[in-house]
């Protein structure tokens, strides 16, 4: 399966917005490095969830050849797992972030990661 590339939509001193388009054939997004200078993060997911579409926000602290990805959480400790369109704040500060489609067919989702100082 292919990995969906990300695009930087906005890049200023105080904020970045990163975009992935995730489909049933591109089940994960290219890892994006979080930065310690962006402690406030939110994840916005919308589009066609298709049949059983579940998108997760995942992170890892592995620098080279990351292979151990884990679900990140919102501030209440709930896993970042999207089955419908919404925006959630991201609690953890992992080294890398990626969106991951854990289930679904006929899925086309836009994933926006907002990083703010």
Report strand pairing: 28-29 vs 3-4.
parallel
**What domains appear along the chain, each with residue ranges and CATH number?**
3-116 (2.60.120)
The answer to whether the CB of 28 falls within 8 A of the CB of 95 is no
74 is written with which tokens? 């919102």
Residue carrying structure tokens 């953890």: 92
Residue 48 half-sphere exposure toward CB, CA atoms < 13 A: 8
Q: Tokens 């200023």 appear where?
A: 12
Span 83-114, pLDDT tens digits: 999 999 999 999 999 999 998 899 999 999 99
pLDDT tens readout for residues 55-87: 999 999 998 888 999 999 999 999 999 999 999
């Amino acid at each position: 399966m292919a990995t969906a590339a990300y695009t930087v939509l906005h890049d200023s001193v105080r904020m970045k917005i990163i975009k992935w388009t995730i489909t049933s054939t591109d089940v994960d997004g290219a890892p994006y490095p979080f930065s310690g200078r962006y402690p406030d993060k939110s994840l916005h997911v919308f589009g066609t969830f298709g049949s059983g579409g579940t998108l997760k926000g995942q992170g890892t602290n592995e620098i080279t050849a990351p292979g151990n990805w884990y679900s990140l959480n919102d501030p209440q400790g709930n896993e970042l797992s999207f089955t419908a369109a919404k925006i959630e704040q991201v609690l953890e500060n992992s080294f890398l972030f990626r969106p991951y489609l854990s289930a679904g067919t006929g899925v086309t989702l836009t994933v926006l990661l907002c990083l703010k100082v």
